[in-house]
A and B are shown apart, each in its own frame.
Chain A
């Protein structure tokens, strides 16, 4: 690739504490985020995603490795010398300043001329639709409005990269959905590279160009939302993103053999088969790859039914079966049925 990456992490390590109490927050993380990309770091709490963000911002120094911004090594630069801005989880708005002063803060610190500060501040407040609130104190704003101020403040100095640390987690569901759309719009309009940290897989899937899934201080997989969902590389990614059924398999002639004896086809490498609940369908007992199962439970979800299945060898699966217009699948608890996998949907994954 000829274009320089917006953010590059080269074998980054971060250790907190010393000796026996040392916590390895990041282990050998290497990553390249492209210009103008909406990149999401996704993982459970404590996985190191926020630490990685803080290393990019300069709030923490890596214990090893390098951080590059736009091709320049910034590992030793303090936060105020880095062309990145952060939207904090708590927003961290200055309570003693008005909305306008908050938004113009960075430009003032940079010593820009007053006319430029005023112009850009107005522009930014218009971008987040807060012109009418300009002279209020931030404490007088609602959570959603504070969120917008935080965004405008971080975007005002036109950073090369905008870092967002779980910015939507404090909002209620409806507002969160609105802000997801809003964030995506801002990113498209400004063309700025966004690095977004979240533990919410749905947020990650709907907004991102690419997702980096993290666990235990390591990057597990970096790929597009579609690839992360359809082709997870390991058990952690398959389990963390969406729901899945994991079944042990052994290689056999013509495919892979399940514990119950049925041979199915699957892509990928590994000894575990991952099949999403919606990729399991009711099949004719004579069809190739049909699996006999007993229905142990049925859970109604409105648009579909979750059928809990037990296979011949005692293995368990959940199938999500769409409800026909009549609203009845005809299945009964305790009955025996045959199911098969949608062709191409089953993936083999490593540990």
Chain B
């Protein structure tokens, strides 16, 4: 008689548990999305389908400027953190093993381990001192802060891609008369590109989503979309928040799908 392998899916209650978990995960989000199309002003009482709240959000100048600010910061932070993460990934993989390698990994991935609130308070105090010293009040602080905590998210996919890359290809390029720079631009970088794009996209989404550090670091009138929404919650809640959330969710889903496709493509 053939032995049957142990399979979790055969345990009693497996399907029930799975269904409950999925409901807990997605029901609130689905409710949020549904009520973004509510014709009335309540977020709990359905009064017919309408795109009214999308229109209101779209015409709200505060939402518009917060969205622009969010996108600007996310774009800048994802470019800066991806460039830095690429250099870090190259520096930690394209060389012999060295002393303190683990320490370097830990240092690069610090934002993943330090509680965000600690970083936020630290940045608040640090940037306050810088503001006094320089008088600069612009978006630079937010971009710098976001770039910093996005680095590990960009670093991980890039490093994974580099480690999966066949080193012989770079040796072959140098054998075929390519200088170090030519090897980098003609072989390493094109092959690394899916990892770089994945890293950039992940960093963009992480930056777009951030509340805690942004809340502590922003100056007056520097609301991003998430901090604007947090501010709205203190007043009357209308389905406008639902509409904004749904739009943000849509953007994130698109970016994460792209990230998934890019990282999967290497096989």
**Is B186 in contact with A109, judged by CB distance below 8 angstroms?**
yes
Q: How many A-B residue pairs have CB under 8 A?
A: 57
Set of chain A residues within 8 Å of B187, measured between Cβ atoms? 94
B180-211 CB mask vs A (1 if < 8 Å, else 0) is 00100011001100000000000000000000
Set of chain B residues within 8 Å of A95, measured between Cβ atoms? 169, 191
Set of chain A residues within 8 Å of B173, measured between Cβ atoms? 94, 105, 109
Set of chain B residues within 8 Å of A157, measured between Cβ atoms? 176-177
**Is A88 in contact with B174, judged by CB distance below 8 angstroms?**
no
Set of chain B residues within 8 Å of A58, measured between Cβ atoms? 175
Interface residues on A, range: 20 to 34
B169 interface neighbour in A57, A94, A109, Cβ under 8 Å: A94
B172 interface neighbour in A84, A86, A96, A110, Cβ under 8 Å: A86
**Is B176 in contact with A153, judged by CB distance below 8 angstroms?**
yes
**Is B168 in contact with A106, judged by CB distance below 8 angstroms?**
no
Set of chain B residues within 8 Å of A109, measured between Cβ atoms? 173, 176-179, 182, 186
**Is B179 in contact with A79, judged by CB distance below 8 angstroms?**
no
Cβ-closest chain A residue relative to B179? A80
B176 interface neighbour in A59, A78, A85, A90, Cβ under 8 Å: A85
Q: Shortest CB–CB separation between residue B249 and chain A, in angstroms?
A: 34
A61-80 CB mask vs B (1 if < 8 Å, else 0) is 00000000000000000111
Q: Shortest CB–CB separation between residue B40 and chain A, in angstroms?
A: 55
**Is B169 in contact with A80, judged by CB distance below 8 angstroms?**
no
A110 interface neighbour in B174, B175, B177, Cβ under 8 Å: B177
Let me know if A170 is at the binding interface, CB within 8 A. Answer: no
A79 interface neighbour in B168, B175, B190, Cβ under 8 Å: B175
Set of chain A residues within 8 Å of B166, measured between Cβ atoms? 90, 92
Q: Shortest CB–CB separation between residue B266 and chain A, in angstroms?
A: 10
Task: Give A76 to B171 CA distance when docked, in angstroms.
Answer: 17
**Is A59 in contact with B177, judged by CB distance below 8 angstroms?**
no
A78 and B174 contact, Cβ closer than 8 Å, known pairs A92-B169, A109-B182: yes
Set of chain A residues within 8 Å of B175, measured between Cβ atoms? 57-59, 79-80, 84-86, 154
Set of chain B residues within 8 Å of A94, measured between Cβ atoms? 169, 172-173, 187
**Is B171 in contact with A59, judged by CB distance below 8 angstroms?**
yes
Task: Give A78 to B182 CA distance when docked, in angstroms.
Answer: 14
Set of chain B residues within 8 Å of A80, measured between Cβ atoms? 174-179
B147-186 CB mask vs A (1 if < 8 Å, else 0) is 0000000000000000000101101111111110010001
**Is B177 in contact with A92, judged by CB distance below 8 angstroms?**
no
Q: Kindly identify, within residues 28 to 61 of chain B, every residue whose CB is under 8 Å from any CB belonging to chain A.
A: none
Task: Give A153 to B176 CA distance when docked, in angstroms.
Answer: 8
**Is A96 in contact with B178, judged by CB distance below 8 angstroms?**
no
Cβ-closest chain A residue relative to B176? A106
Task: Give A245 to B176 CA distance when docked, in angstroms.
Answer: 46
Q: Shortest CB–CB separation between residue B89 and chain A, in angstroms?
A: 18
Task: Give A154 to B172 CA distance when docked, in angstroms.
Answer: 9
Cβ-closest chain B residue relative to A78? B174
Cβ-closest chain A residue relative to B170? A92
A37-74 CB mask vs B (1 if < 8 Å, else 0) is 00000000000000000000111000000000000000
**Is B191 in contact with A96, judged by CB distance below 8 angstroms?**
yes
Cβ-closest chain B residue relative to A89? B168
Task: Give A205 to B191 CA distance when docked, in angstroms.
Answer: 40
Q: Shortest CB–CB separation between residue A49 and chain B, in angstroms?
A: 17
**Is B174 in contact with A79, judged by CB distance below 8 angstroms?**
yes
A280-299 CB mask vs B (1 if < 8 Å, else 0) is 00000000000000000000
**Is A90 in contact with B168, judged by CB distance below 8 angstroms?**
yes
Cβ-closest chain A residue relative to B266? A95
Set of chain A residues within 8 Å of B171, measured between Cβ atoms? 59, 79, 88, 92
B211-242 CB mask vs A (1 if < 8 Å, else 0) is 00000000000000000000000000000000
Task: Give A65 to B144 CA distance when docked, in angstroms.
Answer: 53
Task: Give A76 to B25 CA distance when docked, in angstroms.
Answer: 62
Task: Give A78 to B166 CA distance when docked, in angstroms.
Answer: 20
B168 interface neighbour in A84, A88, A96, A105, Cβ under 8 Å: A88
Task: Give A106 to B187 CA distance when docked, in angstroms.
Answer: 12
Task: Give A58 to B172 CA distance when docked, in angstroms.
Answer: 11
Task: Give A142 to B186 CA distance when docked, in angstroms.
Answer: 24
**Is B190 in contact with A96, judged by CB distance below 8 angstroms?**
yes
Task: Give A57 to B171 CA distance when docked, in angstroms.
Answer: 10
Q: Shortest CB–CB separation between residue A295 and chain B, in angstroms?
A: 50
Q: Shortest CB–CB separation between residue A236 and chain B, in angstroms?
A: 30
Cβ-closest chain B residue relative to A105? B176
Set of chain A residues within 8 Å of B191, measured between Cβ atoms? 95-96
Set of chain A residues within 8 Å of B176, measured between Cβ atoms? 80, 85, 105-106, 109, 153-154, 157
Set of chain B residues within 8 Å of A92, measured between Cβ atoms? 166, 168-169, 171-172
Can you list 30 pairs linking A and B with CB atoms under 8 Å apart?
Answer: A57-B175, A59-B175, A79-B171, A79-B174, A79-B175, A80-B175, A80-B179, A85-B175, A85-B176, A86-B172, A86-B175, A88-B171, A88-B172, A90-B166, A92-B169, A92-B171, A94-B173, A96-B190, A105-B173, A105-B178, A105-B186, A106-B176, A109-B173, A109-B176, A109-B177, A109-B178, A109-B179, A109-B182, A154-B176, A157-B176
Sample of 11 further A-B pairs with CB below 8 A, known A79-B171, A88-B171: A57-B175, A58-B175, A79-B174, A80-B179, A84-B175, A94-B172, A95-B169, A105-B173, A106-B177, A109-B178, A154-B176
Nearest 9 CB-CB pairings of A with B: A106-B176, A92-B172, A92-B168, A109-B178, A79-B174, A109-B177, A96-B190, A80-B177, A86-B175
